[in-house]
Amino acid sequence: METVTSSPKRWWALVAIVLCTLTLGFDITILNVALPTLAADLDAGTSALQWIVDSYVLVFAGLLLPMGALGDRYGRRKLLLAGLALFALASLLAVVATGPGQVIVARTLMGVGAAVMTPLSTAIIPVMFDATDRPKAIALLTMGMGIGLPIGPILGGYLLEHFWWGSIFLVNVPAAVVAFIAVAALVPESKAARPKHIDLGGGLLSTAGLTLFVYGVIEAPVRGWTDPLVLGALVAGLALLAAFVVVERRTAEPMLDLGLFRRPRFAWGTAAGTIASFSLFGLLFVVPQFLQAVRGMDALAVGVRLLPLIVGLFVGAPVAARLSVRIGTKIPVVTGLLVSAAGLFVGTATGPDSTYGFIATWLLLIGLGTGLALAPAMDAVLGELPPDEAGSGTAVTMTLRQTAGALGVALLGSLLSAVYRADLGSGASAAARESIAGALATGEIAAARSAFTTGMAAVLAVCGTLAVAGAVLTARWLPARAAARQSESEHEPARVA
């Protein structure tokens, strides 16, 4: 009898899963292009625009852990289909919205759908692929995630140029529908053979704690890190997360098995992926601003200029997959982090008038390093997960990556602003110190362009230093291959319906 891991259909099933991640990938970046249009057409103020963005992020970060655990209990494909359906319906709700409040509600529901899709699309991988084919599957999944990011600005710029603002949400619908049909037809159902009881206390604590913490991180660059609301949200979030750890340790059937972090490949694979995500999110925050504000490009041109990053990822991920099978995951992860660091440090030499060829070179290096590091890091994590905990284990890794990404944008955004203002000096006008657009209005554009570029160099240097630190730590602590007892668990049959 043919098993799931030997069926040729599993590669077509993987295509269906990649469609899910591709849909989420371009949705993340497409909205940023449309914010000025939403402000004009829906009469949305700054606060409304912020909540259109943040409502998605808050719900998404808060629900990742519970949704992964629910997938283990009730069926991963079943919940993945529900997430796709909700994402499509919420996108339609945004299309017909007549005011910013309705768009915020729609974005919140889209965040719920994304929180279901993100961990479960990855958790299905070890059900369909054994230890030999899993690195290749993860490489393809990583490539799908990566290609969606630059597609967002390119597609968004085209749609807004030819259609109305609702088209940026409407485009989600056919993508989600195709993914829904493909998942329903090709992806096998799987769930825990010994389902746990629902850990309501752990779910509530993790959701509330992550939501509050991420809210504080998002608000910090706007209000300041010492603002009472920001400090209150951060402290309360951390306190609830600490309570979550205590509850999970004492619960007979916890939502998250904290013992996973005692497994070096899970712990350090997660750490490597988190560090790479911090740097990548920071890069995607600062480089588009540089290309738009300093180089004067529109959103469509920015998306095209980011393609070397994705080309590098497309080269790095499959190379890492082959190396992981032959020599284990340690060398690809360490090499990837070092290559990323090299690209980031080269990027610090960028000036306001540097050639695009130079910029494309260091973007290519960062993409190559990210592809080399992310795919084998995730393979190390998935290889350590018991079949019954594939959803919850994947969810904790994704949660840490998303939180690191949000924290990276906040911390690096604050660093960028501080260096920008310091480089301008106290003699600059208040408008110029606020933004490059303000400098343009006051005739201080040359100084502002130079100051922003200096700030970007500081951000890239911090990311590069962190990548080097990650390479040193993973070189020391990440095992190249799973231990014998863990290898045996990889071949334990999952419960497949």
Cβ atoms of 377 and 277 within 8 Å: the answer is: no
Q: Give the pLDDT confidence score for residue 459 in this predicted structure.
A: 92
Region of residue 425 (left: phi > 0; alpha: psi -120 to 50; beta: else): left
3-state helix, strand, coil in the chain (%, to 5): 80, 0, 15
Per-residue pLDDT, averaged over 333-349, amounts to: 96
Q: Give the pLDDT confidence score for residue 231 in this predicted structure.
A: 93
Cβ atoms of 52 and 38 within 8 Å: the answer is: yes
Q: Give the pLDDT confidence score for residue 426 in this predicted structure.
A: 64
CA dist., res. 367 & res. 340, Å (int):
7
| Residue that wins the pLDDT comparison between 2 and 339 | 339
Say whether pLDDT at 484 is over 60: no
**Torsion on CA atoms 31, 34, 40, 44, rounded to nearest 10:** 10
Say whether pLDDT at 486 is over 50: no
CA dist., res. 214 & res. 458, Å (int):
24
Say whether pLDDT at 251 is over 90: no
Q: Which of 83-87, 160-164, 236-240, 326-330 has the lowest mean pLDDT?
A: 160-164
Say whether pLDDT at 487 is over 50: no
Q: Which of 38-47, 299-308, 328-337, 362-371 has the lowest mean pLDDT?
A: 38-47
List the one residue out of 196, 131, 206, 133 whose CA is nearest residue 391.
196
Q: Give the pLDDT confidence score for residue 441 in this predicted structure.
A: 54
Per-residue pLDDT, averaged over 354-366, amounts to: 95
% of residues, the chain, pLDDT over 70 = 90
Tens of pLDDT, residue by residue over 218-232, are 788 778 888 999 999
Q: Which of 77-91, 228-242, 256-270, 327-341 has the lowest mean pLDDT?
A: 256-270
Per-residue pLDDT, averaged over 432-448, amounts to: 64
User: What average pLDDT does the structure give for the chain?
Assistant: 83
CA dist., res. 460 & res. 404, Å (int):
16
- What 8-state DSSP symbol labels residue 210? H
| Residue that wins the pLDDT comparison between 300 and 467 | 467
Say whether pLDDT at 314 is over 50: yes
Tens of pLDDT, residue by residue over 24-43, are 877 777 887 777 788 878 88
Return the top range by mean pLDDT from 124-138, 214-228, 457-471. Answer: 457-471
Q: Give the pLDDT confidence score for residue 367 in this predicted structure.
A: 92
Q: Give the pLDDT confidence score for residue 336 in this predicted structure.
A: 95
pLDDT tier at 1 (50, 70, 90 boundaries)? Answer: very low
Task: State both tokens at 277.
Answer: 């995500």
Per-residue pLDDT, averaged over 324-350, amounts to: 93
Tens of pLDDT, residue by residue over 186-209, are 888 888 777 777 778 888 898 898
pLDDT tier at 81 (50, 70, 90 boundaries)? Answer: very high
CA dist., res. 344 & res. 279, Å (int):
9
Cβ atoms of 367 and 375 within 8 Å: the answer is: no
Q: Which of 69-78, 96-105, 145-154 has the lowest mean pLDDT?
A: 145-154
Q: Give the pLDDT confidence score for residue 249 in this predicted structure.
A: 86
Say whether pLDDT at 244 is over 70: yes
Q: Give the pLDDT confidence score for residue 434 in this predicted structure.
A: 58
